[in-house]
Amino acid sequence: MTYPETLEYLYIQMPEYQRVGHLAYKPGLGNSLRLDAVFNHPHQHYKTIHIGGTNGKGSTSHLLAAILQQSGYKVGLYTSPHLVDFRERIRVNGEMVPKKYVVDFVKKYRERFEPVMPSFFELTMEMAFLYFEEQEVDVAVVEVGLGGRLDSTNIISPDLCVITNIGFDHMQYLGNTLPEIAAEKAGIIKPHTPVVIGESDDEEVKKVFTVKAESENAPIIFAEAVLNDFSAHRADDEWII
């Protein structure tokens, strides 16, 4: 199987996948958990940071991965969707997963994962988790695909959660009001796991996150509380913070 043939298999031949339409969204974690068990839960072998939200979660994921890499860590990065190349979704220290790995993953494991009938997103996510384990990353930054509570990525037990600003998106799946959407995004908050919340002027949205964090005994930090004590200016070709 060539690389183009492998992509064709991933895009079209997986039984539960459509590029657009209602079948592209497959809510629930049951299938993701079954698929993860097939691969013996690879994400449990390294630290993870889970990033959700509406606006800026992709940029935040890339920025955080770059900061960690510059700090000396080996960093996996899983994002979606890709813009040009499928391999943009899966990176280690900024380098995209090799084409050969994508091909070999499908060839080697298809008899194991096909009975689970994974969606495109579930399968590419598990490919990323396994690749990160094999690459022995120190930490993986994992971006939520859609929503949070029922997103496939929500099977991980992260060391940190980040939820960026909340806006109106995918309302047919997540709700018609900002608090309803925030409740779905808040689903990634885990017990005793710190969570950083993006700036928000909506007190009802803040309340949703606060209540969820309290129910999980999760330390919560609102970005604006930190930004109020933060300033930066340029002087003599240097940034002063």
pLDDT digits (tens, 9 = 90+) for 19-39: 444 444 555 789 999 999 999
Residue 129 falls inside a structural domain: yes
Q: Whose CA is closest to 97, among 69, 147, 68, 134?
A: 134
Residue 35 falls inside a structural domain: no
Predicted local distance difference test score (pLDDT) of residue 238: 65
Residue 117 falls inside a structural domain: yes
Whole-angstrom distance, CA of residue 241 vs CA of residue 138: 28
Residue 18 falls inside a structural domain: no
Tokens of 108: 């080697």
Domain extent, residue 126, equals: 3-11+40-240
Phi and psi at 167, nearest 5°, equal -145, -175
CATH number of the domain where residue 98 is located: 3.40.1190.10
Residue 183 falls inside a structural domain: yes
Residue 229 falls inside a structural domain: yes
Residue 16 falls inside a structural domain: no
List Cα–Cα distances, 237 to 67, 231, 233, 240, 241, in angstroms.
21, 16, 10, 10, 13
pTM of this structure: 0.86
Residue 175 falls inside a structural domain: yes
Tabulate helix, strand, coil % of the chain (nearest 5): 50, 15, 35
Q: Tens digit of pLDDT for each residue in 29-77?
A: 899 999 999 999 999 999 999 999 888 899 999 999 999 999 999 999 9
Region of poorest pLDDT, from 9-13, 15-19, 140-144: 15-19
Q: How many domains does the chain have?
A: 1
